[in-house]
């Protein structure tokens, strides 16, 4: 009964979507273009029915209604309540329903906050956004229906993948979707602005908050996924260039470039073409990520589905939207922009352009590294994986000029900046950072001259960002975000240089030495939990002159599905993380134990949160 209500609610949402598109077209083509109240009512009803549909799926999971195929495939009666709730979007069908809910919610909030804008622009935005909504509705109803009926009704479900039963991953998808869906609204608004000839500083001011909202949620979503992979998968790091990690990073690069270019459009009425292109590219990359994750093309722990037919539908729909966008650009957009696009060499506009060039280069590297193995396999049938060395070799050398440009860019003036004399203070600071960097590299045992300049540039960026806090001409949200980014970069570099790892096979009672530390495997205990059996190891690490550290990593053997996972135990301080994870090699006897020392790990997470906080301040500040 509840599943039927959810299904028919989806059908009603589809009908309302078609009606909204037709009504909006009618109003756009009328002599006097108005945004009538019946559109508000229709969009509200659409939101109401998608909420009903989502609640129906949620209730089915809460009550373990195994007559629902989605619930049967992704739940179990022994699963804790929290993971029954998160299981709603912890699968392909449910995640698409959540995606639709966010799409419609964002559209509803957009029209409520756009009452003073041009009616034609607002109507066209609704049309384009509803086309996207209608495409996903057709997709979910015909290929990924979360309300399919199962008969005879089984007594138990198959359960949720144990590695997805984690608090960080439970909230990671919804937050990431808020970032992705925000890009769809930017896409629709951009095309509407092009057709209605509204690409100007007024439009930039109106859409800027949606760019910030999308960027903030995407940033936090990526961070939560990174935190989850760090402690849940036992990889012991914050980023691994996994293909599905990359498909969320690519729209982030594009959004960051858009974030800066839309400020130029707002302040100087420039970069019109480029801003529109970035808006379209951000959405296209978000959709491409959806296609790659759900088509089964990428081999990753993060992938939701393995169905090429579903992936083909998304790819076809994406192709249609991109061709539509390009066609609109060719037909409507005025190619002769105002002369204000001719920037002076030393100005804030030029600094933003340089920032955009770097972002596009980083994006290109990640894009090539992600899709090249796919094309190679199609052409030659050879399977390869592109790992961290590829990205490091192509990205790291360009970080030095990027950090230096970022150190000076915020201080430049709009239109033109004049330098009458050499700033010896800045040169002295950079020389000091080179000396500090040399000492860091020398004491770490790293023997690459290049590392000295990389760390020096990052420290110089940190000092410049800290000094900018006291500059009145720079806006406070920008100061906070740039300082957070500089702390993030320096934390990543120090983490990479000083991280240490030890790996050994051990029995209970064994002692091994690592550097100046002694690792003792003291004991192991067995426990029974609600939905898994638990093996908890007891380890002690002794270091001369310090109190011993006790660790209790776990091996969990879940009952449905029967899968074992390793849960790391991490001791975190403001300076470092001590990380232990172990796994069973031979029943009851030998365990593989991995210990890692990770400096400044907590500062990576803190700096990302402060980075997003800076973006939040930019929205709410007056």
321 and 281 in one domain? Answer: yes
253 and 191 in one domain? Answer: yes
pLDDT per residue over 138-160, tens digit each?
999 988 899 999 888 888 888 77
88 and 58 in contact (C-beta within 8 Å)? Answer: yes
Cα separation, 213 vs 259, whole angstroms: 10
76 and 21 in one domain? Answer: yes
258 and 156 in one domain? Answer: no
The mean pLDDT of the chain is: 86
Total of domains in the chain: 4
306 and 374 in one domain? Answer: yes
Neighbouring residues of 165: CB distance < 8 A, sequence distance ≥ 6: 79, 80, 83, 86, 558
290 and 208 in one domain? Answer: yes
Tell me the average pLDDT across 331-338.
63
Cα separation, 275 vs 193, whole angstroms: 12
253 and 206 in one domain? Answer: yes
Cα separation, 228 vs 245, whole angstroms: 12
Residue 523 lies in a domain: yes
pLDDT per residue over 369-418, tens digit each?
988 887 887 788 777 778 888 998 999 899 999 998 888 877 777 666 55
Residue 332 lies in a domain: yes
Q: Which domain-ending residue is among 416, 446, 478? A: 416
214 and 85 in one domain? Answer: no
User: Is the pLDDT confidence value at 33 over 90?
Assistant: no
Q: Which of 117-126, 182-191, 250-259, 300-309 comes out lowest in average pLDDT?
A: 300-309
274 and 327 in one domain? Answer: yes
Cα separation, 53 vs 516, whole angstroms: 59
pLDDT per residue over 193-242, tens digit each?
999 988 889 999 999 999 999 999 999 999 998 888 887 766 667 888 88
Residue 490 lies in a domain: yes
262 and 273 in contact (C-beta within 8 Å)? Answer: no
Cα separation, 235 vs 182, whole angstroms: 31
251 and 282 in contact (C-beta within 8 Å)? Answer: yes
Residue 15 lies in a domain: yes
395 and 344 in one domain? Answer: yes
142 burial level (CB within 10 Å; 0-12, 13-18, 19+): exposed
Residue 47 lies in a domain: yes
Residue 172 lies in a domain: no
pTM of the shown model: 0.90
Per-residue DSSP letters for 284-335? HHHHHHHHHHHHS-S--TT-----HHHHHHHHHHHHHHHHHHHHHHHHH--S
Cα separation, 459 vs 95, whole angstroms: 41
Tell me the average pLDDT across 457-470.
89
User: Is the pLDDT confidence value at 342 over 70?
Assistant: no
Tell me the average pLDDT across 452-478.
87
Cα separation, 249 vs 90, whole angstroms: 21
CA-CA distances (angstroms) from residue 357 to 342, 455, 595? 16, 22, 40
Containing H/E element for 597?
Answer: strand 590-599
Residue 174 lies in a domain: no
Per-residue pLDDT band at 336 (split at 50, 70, 90) = very low
Q: Which domain-ending residue is among 165, 187, 209? A: 165
Q: Which of 178-192, 312-326, 330-344 has the highest mean pLDDT?
A: 178-192
Residue 532 lies in a domain: yes
* Residue in the structure block whose two tokens are 């894009």: 367
User: Is the pLDDT confidence value at 13 over 60?
Assistant: yes
CA-CA distances (angstroms) from residue 138 to 135, 143, 187, 295, 520? 5, 8, 20, 17, 58
User: Is the pLDDT confidence value at 351 over 90?
Assistant: no
Which residue range(s) make up the domain with 374?
A: 179-416
Per-residue pLDDT band at 586 (split at 50, 70, 90) = low
Q: Which of 71-80, 294-303, 408-417, 544-553 comes out lowest in average pLDDT?
A: 294-303
* Residue in the structure block whose two tokens are 């290049």: 450
576 and 477 in one domain? Answer: no
341 and 247 in one domain? Answer: yes
Q: Which domain-ending residue is among 377, 394, 416? A: 416
In three-state form (DSSP H/G/I as H, E/B as E, the rest C), the secondary structure along 237-265 is: CCCCCCHHHHHHHHHHHHHHHHHHHHHHH
Per-residue pLDDT band at 294 (split at 50, 70, 90) = low
């Amino acid at each position: 009964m509840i599943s039927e209500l959810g299904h028919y609610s989806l059908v009603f949402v589809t009908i309302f979507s078609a009606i909204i598109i037709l009504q909006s077209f009618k109003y756009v083509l009328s002599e006097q273009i108005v945004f009538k109240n019946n559109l508000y009512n229709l969009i509200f009803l659409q939101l109401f029915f998608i909420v009903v549909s989502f609640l129906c799926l949620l209730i089915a999971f809460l009550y373990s209604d195994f007559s629902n195929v989605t619930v049967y495939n992704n739940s179990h009666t022994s699963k804790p309540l929290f993971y029954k709730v998160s299981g709603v979007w912890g699968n392909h069908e449910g995640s698409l329903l959540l995606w639709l809910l966010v799409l419609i919610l964002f559209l509803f909030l957009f029209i409520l906050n756009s009452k003073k804008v041009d009616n034609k622009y607002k109507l066209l935005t609704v049309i384009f956004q509803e086309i996207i909504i209608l495409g996903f509705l057709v997709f979910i109803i015909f290929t990924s229906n979360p309300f399919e009926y199962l008969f005879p009704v089984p007594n138990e479900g198959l359960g949720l993948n144990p590695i997805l039963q984690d608090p960080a991953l439970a909230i990671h998808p919804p937050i990431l979707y808020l970032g992705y869906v925000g890009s769809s609204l930017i896409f629709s608004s951009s095309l509407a602005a092009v057709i209605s000839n509204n690409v100007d500083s007024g439009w930039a001011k109106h859409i800027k908050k949606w760019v910030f909202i999308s960027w903030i949620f995407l940033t936090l979503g990526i961070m939560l996924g990174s935190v989850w992979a760090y402690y849940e998968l036992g990889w012991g790091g914050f980023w691994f260039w996994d293909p599905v990690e990359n498909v969320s990073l690519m729209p982030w690069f594009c959004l960051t470039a858009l974030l800066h270019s839309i400020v130029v459009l707002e302040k100087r009425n420039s970069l019109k073409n480029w801003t529109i292109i970035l808006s379209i590219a951000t959405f296209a990359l978000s959709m491409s990520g959806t296609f790659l994750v759900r088509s089964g093309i990428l081999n990753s722990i993060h992938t939701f589905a393995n169905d090429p037919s579903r992936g083909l539908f998304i790819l076809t729909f994406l192709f249609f939207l991109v061709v539509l966008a390009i066609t609109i650009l060719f037909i409507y957009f005025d190619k002769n922009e105002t002369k204000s696009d001719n920037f002076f060499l030393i100005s804030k506009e030029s600094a933003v352009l340089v920032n955009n060039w770097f972002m596009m280069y980083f994006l290109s590297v990640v894009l090539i590294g992600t899709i090249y193995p796919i094309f190679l396999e199609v052409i030659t049938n050879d399977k390869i994986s592109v790992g961290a060395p590829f990205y490091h070799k192509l990205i790291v050398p360009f970080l030095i000029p990027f950090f230096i440009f970022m150190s000076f860019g915020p201080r430049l003036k709009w239109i033109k900046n004049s330098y009458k004399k050499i700033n010896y203070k800045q040169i002295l600071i950079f020389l000091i950072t080179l000396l500090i960097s040399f000492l860091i590299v020398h004491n770490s045992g790293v023997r690459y001259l290049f590392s000295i300049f990389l760390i020096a540039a990052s420290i110089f960026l940190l000092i410049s960002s800290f000094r900018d806090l006291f500059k009145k001409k720079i806006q406070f949200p920008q100061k906070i975000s740039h300082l957070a980014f500089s702390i993030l970069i320096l934390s990543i570099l120090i983490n990479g240089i000083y991280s240490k790892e030890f790996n050994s096979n051990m029995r209970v009672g064994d002692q091994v030495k690592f550097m100046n530390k002694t690792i003792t495997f003291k004991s192991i205990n067995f426990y029974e939990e609600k939905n898994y059996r638990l093996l908890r190891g007891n380890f002690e690490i002794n270091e001369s002159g310090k109190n011993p550290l006790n660790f209790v990593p776990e091996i969990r053997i879940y009952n449905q599905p029967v899968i074992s996972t390793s849960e790391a135990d991490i001791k975190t301080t403001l300076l470092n993380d001590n990380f232990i994870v172990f796994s069973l090699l031979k029943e009851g006897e030998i365990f593989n134990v991995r210990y890692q020392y990770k400096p400044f790990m907590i500062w990576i997470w803190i700096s990302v949160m402060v980075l997003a906080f800076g973006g939040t301040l930019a929205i709410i500040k007056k």
